[in-house]
Amino acid sequence: MLDCFIKNGLVYNGSGSGPVETNIGIKDERIAYIGNDEVPAGTVIDAKGLVVSPGFIDTHAHSEFTILADGRAEGKLSQGVTTEINGNCGLSAAPLCGDAFEHREADLKELGIKERWSSFGQYFDILKHKGIAINFATLCGHGNIRASVIGYRDIQPDENAMNEMKRHLSDAVEQGAKGISTGLIYPPGVYSETGELMELSGILSPDGIYASHMRSEGDALIESIEEVIAISKGTDVKVHISHIKTAGERNWWKADKAIELIEDARNSGVNVTCDRYPYIAASTDLDTVLPSWVYDGGVEEELRRLKDKAAAEKIKEEIGSKNEDYWKGIFVSSVAQEKNKWMEGENIFDIALKLSKKPIDALFEIIIDEKARAGAIFFSMSEGNLRKFLSLPYAMIGSDSSVRSFSGITRSGKPHPRGFGTFPRFIGKYVRDEGLMPLSEAIRKMTSLPAETFGLKERGFIREGFHADIVIFDYEKIIDNAVFKEPFKMASGINYVFVNGSLAFRNGEFTGSRSGRVLM
């Protein structure tokens, strides 16, 4: 007797091959049967006319804290996501020691998280105890490592500090981290040199991976890609470019050059991959528009410089004069203070008008008032380049977002709609409506390719004996509904989602299952 029998579905097994109409049986947490026979089961689902796929793997997530605050993960689960790769852009759940721990305290308090930890082992124990609806895998953030050892200062590690950083990374990998990530526009990663990144990456095993939010995705895009490739050549580790893009209209022409550079490296034996979300707007901290020297010493130093007249004038000079369109392309997505909630979903230009200020002065005021914790959405990318990057056979799909739910503590602000629509949008808009690639190839990019890239064993394929992470969807109806003004909207066309054999989502409703696992 099987637990569940899915019959008559159009099965795409994740390999990139065409579909086969067949039946799938689930027993315990695994796929126990694939074939044309009828097998008795406690639950039978007739998937006639529907696509049956491996569960989608979000290769670029930031859920380390939100999933602890609310393990329901509704925004991702309702897209068909069964597994996330977390710890991206240099920020992970651990290590959290010294300045790194102090820096995260405000985030933990805001999310109502009472538990505290310093290592991945401790964090994973808390996560397992609380229960999560989807699978959680993670990288180790270089920012965590650096901040835990030398803080948020613009200095280079000496031999003792470097050895301590290596120890933190070794411990993280031993406890289950899949590799290292860097966020080279954020403090403290912005202060690191290539040699430091290479030395740390060099201790990873051949199965490990170096994933990078590069130093630049615009003016110095090509040089940044060259650095990633150099790190792979110097260490023999796999490398992965996070949310590849050409930011700023003046850089849009660089897409072909970037792709040529990556493909030349791949042809020479460098194992380089990338991920991308299907939107032309990015989202990160509002204060990332500031020069990197402003962050030196941590948040209090950053705020002090913004308040200091001479330093503020220097910052304005380095940012330069920006036109109206620039400020209209930056939207405030989240603020902590109730008095500023009206700003959420509004652009800096319009906010400045309402405040009777220049946009640059309004920007400074928001950052200061929100203690450098305001989030923002930046419209700076080309639709044509987006299609080019999505089409690359070594490009995966990553939402670049954290798990949120449609109620509770994580339903706040106006976050980027990619947290609720990335995968249905990719399939519905770009694959079905625009014919960017066959559905079989699209599914491979969301399932087996990330599983193999990030070392997720027995996942990413529909095969007997593999974990039963499965999504069933209507190809004719699947589409995103979340928009920038109203991001908390569920996608259409996802019928069923199984996580480790348990039915977690059914026709628009959540079952309450917490069958997700920590993948180490």
- Domain regions of the chain by residue span: 1-60+406-513, 286-379
Q: Give the pLDDT band of residue 380 (cuts 50, 70, 90).
A: very high
Residues 196-247 have pLDDT tens digits of: 999 999 999 988 999 999 999 999 999 999 999 999 999 999 999 999 999 9
Partners of 52 in the β-ladder: 11, 472
CB 211 within 8 A of CB 240: yes
Residues 303-315 have pLDDT tens digits of: 999 999 999 999 9
Residues 423-455: b if buried by 16+ CB within 10 A, e if exposed: bbbbbbbbbbeeebbebbbbbbbbbbbbbebbb
Rounded CA separation 364/354 (Å): 15
Residues 140-198 have pLDDT tens digits of: 999 999 999 999 999 999 999 999 999 999 999 999 999 999 999 999 999 999 999 99
So what's the pLDDT on residue 391? 98
Q: Give the pLDDT band of residue 472 (cuts 50, 70, 90).
A: very high
Provide the mean pLDDT of the chain.
97
Give the tokens for residue 445: 């990019």
Residues 384-399 have pLDDT tens digits of: 999 999 999 999 999 9
DSSP codes of every residue in 292-351: GGGGTT-HHHHHHHHHSHHHHHHHHHHH----HHHHHTEEEEE-SSGGGGGGTT-BHHHH
Percent of the chain with pLDDT over 90: 99
Q: Higher pLDDT residue, 264 or 206?
A: 264
Read off the pTM: 0.96
So what's the pLDDT on residue 481? 98
So what's the pLDDT on residue 426? 99
Please measure the distance between the N-terminal and C-terminal CA atoms of the chain and give it in whole angstroms: 31
Rounded CA separation 347/341 (Å): 13
Q: Give the pLDDT band of residue 431 (cuts 50, 70, 90).
A: very high
Residues 35-48 have pLDDT tens digits of: 999 999 999 999 99
The pLDDT of residue 374 is above 90: yes
CB 423 within 8 A of CB 417: no
CA angle, 211 as apex, 205 and 215 as ends, to 5°? 135
Q: Give which of 288, 139, 305 is closest to 215, Cα–Cα.
A: 288
For 1-60+406-513, CATH gives 2.30.40.10
So what's the pLDDT on residue 206? 87
Calculate mean pLDDT across residues 105-110. Answer: 95
Rounded CA separation 489/341 (Å): 20
The pLDDT of residue 354 is above 90: yes
Q: Give which of 27, 23, 78 is closest to 495, Cα–Cα.
A: 78
